[in-house]
Amino acid sequence: MLKIYGLKNCDTCRKAVKWLEAEGMAHQFHDLKVEGISAADVKRFAGAVGWEALLNKASTTWRGLPDGDKEGLGEAKALKLMTAHPALIKRPVFDNGKTVISGFRDPQKAAIKKAFGK
């Protein structure tokens, strides 16, 4: 089943859920703030889309981090930060266990339809 990772209060995540419902695509929502995320899932997502693309540097969470956490940023440090602060993950993330897609613009919508059965 398609799993969508995001935040329930995120406008883009809500739009994505409504779109999936309109498309008739069964899904399960995983609220990152409530349920958190495992280090293994963060690593798997980053392996699929790239850690730079997965890390949301435009977020208020990123801006609120101490400068020391932002300095010397590499993959390992970014993965640890995203695991500790799931709101740093660019959302929504769509996952069916084989394919991972991050973001919700037209290219991602097309990729979701192709990868997840529509």
Q: What is the pTM of this model?
A: 0.92
Contact 82, 88 (CB under 8 A): yes
Give yes or no for residue 32 having a pLDDT over 70.
yes
Amino acid at 55: L
Residue 45 CB neighbours (<10 A): 24
How many angstroms separate the CA atoms of 30 and 5, rounded?
A: 5
Query: What is the rounded average pLDDT of the residues 19-35?
Result: 95
The token pair at 65 is 């981090």
Segment 90-105 mean pLDDT: 95
The CATH number given to whatever domain includes residue 73 is: 3.40.30.10
Structural domain boundaries, residue 91: 2-115
- Number of domains, the chain: 1
Catalytic residues: 10
Mean residue pLDDT across the chain = 94
Which residues make beta-bridge pairs with 94? 4, 101
- φ, ψ dihedrals at 28, nearest 5°: -130, 130
In angstroms, the CA 48 to CA 108 distance is 14
Per-residue confidence (pLDDT) for residue 85, from 0 to 100: 96
